[in-house]
Amino acid sequence: MCYAVFLATSKPLQTGEFIPGVTKIYLETPGEKALSGLRSKFSLPNIYYAGSDTKCSCGFVFYSERFDDPDWQEKDSPQALIDLLNELAADKPVEYYCCWEGDWDAPIEY
């Protein structure tokens, strides 16, 4: 089962697509089934699914104690997500939600 990372913003963002071997991070608009479960979790209107180098959100996973380890430096997607969140939050609020793929309707636990 895969992680699913979602972001919400007050302004629309550019979406993209996954390109194997090239993509570090991309955003796409979730389908209506996912959106129906996600809308109650966000106060901001523009909701996006964040995909990584693995196409799903699993590529964002890293162990914080190893983040600066040179053997993990080749993992670009976690830093790309951090950079995007910092960029978005610099001038406007951004909301973040992570769940297991398909669990959009589940209540927030943390």
Please give the structure tokens belonging to residue 94. Answer: 């951004």
Number of domains in the chain: 1
pLDDT higher than threshold 90 for residue 11: yes
pLDDT value at position 67? Answer: 65
Is position 29 within any domain? yes
pLDDT value at position 93? Answer: 94
Residue 8: name the closest of 45, 33, 35 by CA: 45
Is position 108 within any domain? no
Is position 15 within any domain? yes
Is position 43 within any domain? yes
Dihedral in degrees, nearest 10, Cα atoms 59, 60, 63, 64: 150
**Strands of the sheet with 94-100, listed across from one edge:** 25-28, 46-52, 3-9, 94-100
DSSP three-state, residue 18: coil
Is position 110 within any domain? no
Q: What is the pTM of this model?
A: 0.87
The more confidently predicted of residues 8 and 107 is 8
Contacts of 40 (CB under 8 A, 6+ apart): none
Is position 61 within any domain? yes
pLDDT digit string, tens, across residues 29-73: 999 999 999 999 999 999 999 999 999 998 888 766 666 776 665
pLDDT higher than threshold 90 for residue 110: no
Is position 105 within any domain? no
Expressed in angstroms, the distance from the first to the final Cα of the chain is: 19
E strand spans, the chain? 3-9, 25-28, 46-52, 94-100
Is position 81 within any domain? yes
| Segments forming the whole domain that contains residue 50 | 3-100
